[in-house]
Structure 1
Amino acid sequence: MALTIRERRLPQLHISLDLPSCAGAANFRAAPASTSAAAAARAGELRMSDFDRVAVLGRGNGGAVYKVVHRRTSAVYALKVLHGGVGGGDHGAAAATEADVMRRAASPHVVRCHSVVAAAAAATSCPGDVALLLELVDGGSLASVAARAGAFPEAAVAEVAAQALSGLACLHARRVVHRDIKPGNLLVSVDGEVKIADFGIAKVVPPRRGGEHRAAYEYEGTAAYMSPERFDSELHGDGADPFAADVWGLGVTVLELLMARYPLLPAGQKPSWAALMCAICFGELPPLPDGAASPELRAFLAACLHKDHTKRPSAAHLLTHQFVAGRNVAASKLALRRLVAGA
């Protein structure tokens, strides 16, 4: 279980939700969909009572994610429910903000958000509940795939990296920083399509004027995937590039998929805050056995996991890296599809 930090003063262990060409303008509109349920969602007409809950996809502090079916059309979605009264926050505003962040990037590698759905008077909802109606990604998270399949072959890792970088490049172009890139927040379809999910702590970073990047470094997220500059934001001040932290998270994710375990601590070591801080800020990358990774993959990991954020390439630049750009796309996608299918 990953260590998730909400406040630096009081580290706590939290459970994170496993949520099931950059062409979109930065406005609040629903992604295209063919069902009448999605059309209703665009008009803001849906309520939780319009859906039957089929399965629980994930639970966490203050909410849960369900597989749901729209009663009238039989269209299938994921419904991320934020429970009212938990944490004392304004969940309606939080849901609207998260939806807006997701809709800034009309990328095939970002989970689509169709609507913010209000609670209705039903036994399945509580006063104050609000939800996001999302596309359902049928293969689950990369964390769940890895738990079943073990270590990813390099070809599959290259496909994950390429698609995740495409989504990140689009988000970053729209000035959205995700802040919690990890295997549990990257979903994959049975067709091998990787999508970035769970924008609960994402931020829209304004153009730099003074210290306005500080909001991107609030001490929340999953500590195991935080970059050195996020762990010690006081040292770096407001000068750090907030988008570089997402690249670090992807680097840890790629290495974790390759090694079939969290890579920055010795196998079996408890991921305490102190252990993670030492490993991330001061530790060396774990050695990979000879033959376990190509020179291109090793160079890619070194670039993503450079401790100096000023020397970490952007997501857009990494799309041209030989490990990604030089992959055999058909073979890489096939390798990923086989993992998802359990072959």
Structure 2
Amino acid sequence: MFRELCNCWPTKPARHKREKERKNERKNNERITTMTKRRYDTNRKTYDWKKEDSSIRLSTRSGFAQIPTSPTATMAGATSINQSMRQATPKLSRPSTPSQMKTTDLTHIIRHDPNETTVEEILHWNGYKLEVEIGKGSFGSVYRARDLVNDTLVACKVIDISKTSKNQSLSVRNELYVMESVNHPHIIKLYRHFIIESPKSRQVYIFMQLAKSKSLSVYVRSFKTGLPEQTTKKMFAQVVSAINHLHEKHIAHRDIKMGNVLLDENNDCLVTDFGLSRIAYRASQGKKILTNKFCGTMPYMAPEILLTRDNKLVYDPFPADIWALGVLLYCMINRGYPFPSDGSKMLEQQMIHKIRFGKKMQFEPGIDLIDLFQRILEPNAELRLRMDQLMKHPWLIKEINIVERNVRLYRAAENSQSVTMKTKNQSMWARESFLEKIAQRKMAIVKRLRSS
């Protein structure tokens, strides 16, 4: 037995062999590093102005147009050239959540000198022209703009981030991240975005689909009573399908309300405004990301959100979205909120779990609708209706099936239409030429600075 145990231990010659192999590996690694250092040193001496010009041009094509402001800055040497080359190379990997990202991880920066170029010229070179301001909020303004390449009207959201707080900067990153991640006919489409930066200002330009009609809140207020039952079912099914798509992408909207649902020319719903949206599920670990953020619009807040204001509690934002959908449905058919807007009274009424239908309804609520409200406005988040149950509820299932069929047709048409791909390629080539013009103009400025 003792001999068998001794035979299990590694012998000395084997250990010596391993040590020799490790030493040889270290020597080889040291040899490779010295070789690369020598090559780097020799390359540093061979940099010239042509290579620096090409690096500036390359950085412009990737969305950066960083131009030195003085001849001394242009004569910085090899280190500044290496920095500009590193800036120009695309990033292969980025953080998984917007809170870990920088704004430059999500969009391009076009830097310019106001004495040489105007914002209007840069927008024109990128194929857009701002026309009329159609909306204004705390974070920025919305303009009606024209896509010069495709000759179509689009919306442009302009957000000044020159002196932004952390919350505003995060909301911009979230909005860009969410709109890049989703693809649904009832979510507002994102076309293009970039930052125009000068020494004194920094503004984000987000070009998106233009909703040619009013918001859902304005549409409901145009009626003396609530909406008809069939119209309510159709619109609510479209909003539910859009929020379900967000939840499938592990994103919670966190600010569902009638003001954030726009209507197109056919009165179809378009969900928008993703500034408060967050990733609420970590797929790699298979767990939800709880939050204690007191956010949203007061009448649409779930009881668990109201409880976080005075108590340090955490909640799951997905059921909170379901509650907000219930409040939105109530507003559509009753033309008013189900609970008072005052915080303490609102929480008391929510906990009683009694939903009273107003006199402004156009139809008598049936058993299925009453059951839907009882389950969707459940104060206990764990017992509240889940999204998959909402999609299959008897009051809504017929309209949901119609919407989901249209979603499948929409995605199939997007994948198969070669015409749309051609127009996309044409617009891409045209914008590449615009960036080329910017690069040429910037190179001319650099040459002028060198000669002075």
With structure 2 as the length reference, what TM-score do the two structures score? 0.55
**Residue matched to 1:186:** 261
1:137 matched to 2:211: yes
In 1, distance between residues paired with 2:345 and 2:146? 43
In 2, distance between residues paired with 1:156 and 1:131? 35
**Residue matched to 1:12:** none
**Residue matched to 2:102:** none
In 2, distance between residues paired with 1:298 and 1:86? 49
Q: Aligned to 2:234, what secondary structure does the other structure show? A: helix
Per-residue CA deviations over 1:169-210 (Å, capped at 9, x if unaligned) read 111111100001010111221223212110000001133879
1:305 matched to 2:398: no
Per-residue CA deviations over 1:21-75 (Å, capped at 9, x if unaligned) read xxxxxx99xxxxxxxxxxxxx9969977334333333222121222221345432
1:295 matched to 2:370: no
1:58 matched to 2:135: yes
**What's the offset of the Cα at 1:323?**
1.1
1:106 matched to 2:183: yes
The alignment covers a number of residue pairs equal to: 280
Per-residue CA deviations over 1:275-295 (Å, capped at 9, x if unaligned) read 444444456322356953222
1:252 matched to 2:327: yes
In 1, distance between residues paired with 2:167 and 2:357? 45
In 2, distance between residues paired with 1:85 and 1:279? 43
**Residue matched to 1:8:** none
User: When you count helix as a share of all residues, which structure comes out higher?
Assistant: 2
Contact persistence 2:109–2:197 (CA under 8 A): no
Q: Aligned to 2:202, what secondary structure does the other structure show? A: coil
Contact persistence 1:229–1:236 (CA under 8 A): no
In 1, distance between residues paired with 2:165 and 2:342? 27
Contact persistence 1:179–1:221 (CA under 8 A): yes
**Residue matched to 1:317:** 389
* Equivalent AA in structure 2 for residue 230 of structure 1: I
In 1, distance between residues paired with 2:275 and 2:107? 23
In 1, distance between residues paired with 2:313 and 2:166? 28
* Unaligned residue ranges in structure 2 (runs of 5+): 1-93, 96-105, 111-118, 403-452
In 2, distance between residues paired with 1:161 and 1:205? 23
Contact persistence 2:145–2:156 (CA under 8 A): yes
Q: Aligned to 1:248, what secondary structure does the other structure show? A: helix
- Select the structure of larger CA radius of gyration: 2
- Map 1:122-271 onto structure 2 (within 5 A): 127-150=201-224, 151-207=226-282, 213-215=289-291, 217-233=292-308, 237-238=313-314, 240-265=315-340, 271=341
In 1, distance between residues paired with 2:262 and 2:275? 15
Higher relative contact order (CA 8 A, sep 6+): 1
**Residue matched to 2:62:** none
With structure 1 as the length reference, what TM-score do the two structures score? 0.71
* Equivalent AA in structure 1 for residue 213 of structure 2: G
**What's the offset of the Cα at 1:120?**
6.2
* Equivalent AA in structure 2 for residue 57 of structure 1: I
* Equivalent AA in structure 2 for residue 255 of structure 1: Y
In 1, distance between residues paired with 2:182 and 2:288? 22
% identity of equivalent residues:
21
**What's the offset of the Cα at 1:255?**
0.5
User: Aligned-residue CA RMSD in angstroms?
Assistant: 3.3
